[in-house]
Chains A and B, each alone.
Chain A
């Protein structure tokens, strides 16, 4: 079942009457909350709809389209793909996020994506902490047939990522994608470590890291906003990728995030395989949240 099919019923309950009244608006707001927009963003969108159309005749279809348009207008400005443009090479992409959000898998997907465009990719196994995290990335590297820079389990991640930049620079690799251990944004020590990794990446090449991608799990709720805020402060996030949108979670927190932080959204993850990454399509995501698609 496609996301769009599953979600088309989202707002169907939200239209009992042809006139846009408070009860209908309540239903719209509830539907947005269920999509994880959070009460504040949901209430703002409700307010805008009310301003434009309160008391006017509106069909269920038109209402959904109006909701989708409101959301799309928020999301369109932040939809930006990752492009390999760094000169000199490599473009260094640092991938960060809380535990289990999908960083390592997303790295495999990104590498695959770049390979399809004929770019050469290298991976750096910067998660030396979690059990078998290196083995996990190494398995992906093998499947993708790309080189991987790795050190011992429990080793210093900063020195591995330094080696990564060096190796990729020597080889002239187009993109170096750096995996990091998952960390909760309220862990001071781990956030300091991330800052250090960032700094070390810039030692050989002051432009690096060119991208700092925060991976968000679509099943997370409002805490995703706090993740964005803190990771941005500590590591200078340049863009977002949201994973696990192949489930029933709708990722509405992206709408609130776009309003509050305006960070680029690069792509979405829709499965566990290496070809399960899609460009972020704001109109589609908006239509899915509004139940039009």
Chain B
């Protein structure tokens, strides 16, 4: 199996060396390889289709730069479009410019990394932005979920809402808001229980929490290892709550991370951060260029093309 798109395209274009412009038939043949590369990277099929259409249109008729091969040229076009679709250049941070407390609500599937990311964000807001942050766990589903956030709060030196056994999520959210106002916290981070997007009761509960807490940010926490299901997840969550962004976790793994493209495309919201480890300092601004190279399996494509 080919590891990266460049190798794949090598074969397609070998016989076309020295061409002036990219012809329609060649581009279509190349796009079959691009399609497979994206699917192997777990980009969701409907997103792959739309991406291929967009890139095909852009590539046909383009002059092949003298310095590089047609294969490299197509890789560059694909890469540029990918970077663009992943969010382009600038990093979008959090929008917390509201009357305090600014509420940040974390949502997502079970085990995606919500609790860990909550603590990472709180630590980040405290250290980088000098915010006074409070965290509250609304997870009454998973054993020891609230205890987990409490321990992480101690590690990050960020306050957590005292646990009251048996209190339900909406009531915990109200209590957390109250506490934030009384103790003048700048930011309130709400960690929620993992839920399946097909679980109507839990989706309704999440919606109820969003209504009482009026969050400035609702962040969908998604595992970078996610496969084709990313589309369903993105659609269902963005249909139920007003998402403002995505956090992509486990970017320290070796997954190609095609879910990033699916998320971005389906929700239309920026991927604001990447989780890159289990420790609380392992949070980075999402970098579209690096992720594009990774989806294509080839690191930094631009410098690769420039070298050619």
Beyond A34-B45, A222-B40, whether A136 also contacts B144 by CB under 8 A is yes
* Complex contact B148–A223 (CB within 8 A): no
Q: Does A129 contact B (CB under 8 A)?
A: yes
Closest A residue to B275 by CB, please name it: A99
CA distance A223 to B40 in the complex (A): 9
The distance from the CB of B258 to the nearest CB of chain A, in whole angstroms, is 7
Q: Does B250 contact A (CB under 8 A)?
A: yes
CA distance A223 to B148 in the complex (A): 27
Beyond A131-B152, A248-B198, whether A272 also contacts B228 by CB under 8 A is no
Q: Which residues of B contact A132 (CB under 8 A)?
A: 144-145, 147-148, 150-151
Give the A-B contact count at a CB cut-off of 8 A: 141
Label chain A's interface by main secondary structure: loop
From B229, B233, B253, A186 is in contact (CB under 8 Å) with: B253
* Complex contact A221–B254 (CB within 8 A): no
CA distance A272 to B41 in the complex (A): 29
* Complex contact B111–A102 (CB within 8 A): yes
* Complex contact B225–A38 (CB within 8 A): no
Q: Does B28 contact A (CB under 8 A)?
A: no
Beyond A226-B254, A247-B109, whether A136 also contacts B148 by CB under 8 A is yes
The distance from the CB of A15 to the nearest CB of chain B, in whole angstroms, is 18
The distance from the CB of B85 to the nearest CB of chain A, in whole angstroms, is 19
From B111, B141, B145, B147, A101 is in contact (CB under 8 Å) with: B111
* Complex contact B142–A136 (CB within 8 A): yes
* Complex contact B229–A219 (CB within 8 A): yes
| 8 A Cβ contacts from A93-131 to B | 98-102, 129-131
Beyond A38-B40, A220-B227, A222-B42, whether A140 also contacts B143 by CB under 8 A is yes
* Complex contact A38–B254 (CB within 8 A): no
> In which size bucket is the chain A interface?
35 or more
* Complex contact A99–B143 (CB within 8 A): no
From B39, B229, B254, A39 is in contact (CB under 8 Å) with: B39
* Complex contact B39–A33 (CB within 8 A): yes
Q: Does B73 contact A (CB under 8 A)?
A: no
26 CB contacts below 8 A, A to B, read A30-B45, A33-B45, A33-B228, A99-B111, A100-B112, A102-B111, A131-B147, A132-B147, A133-B144, A135-B148, A185-B253, A186-B252, A219-B233, A220-B227, A220-B255, A222-B42, A222-B227, A223-B256, A224-B227, A244-B109, A244-B111, A246-B196, A249-B229, A253-B227, A272-B141, A272-B142
12 new A-B contacts at CB < 8 Å, known A38-B39, A139-B144, A222-B227 = A101-B111, A135-B144, A185-B253, A185-B254, A187-B252, A217-B225, A221-B225, A221-B255, A223-B256, A244-B109, A246-B196, A247-B109
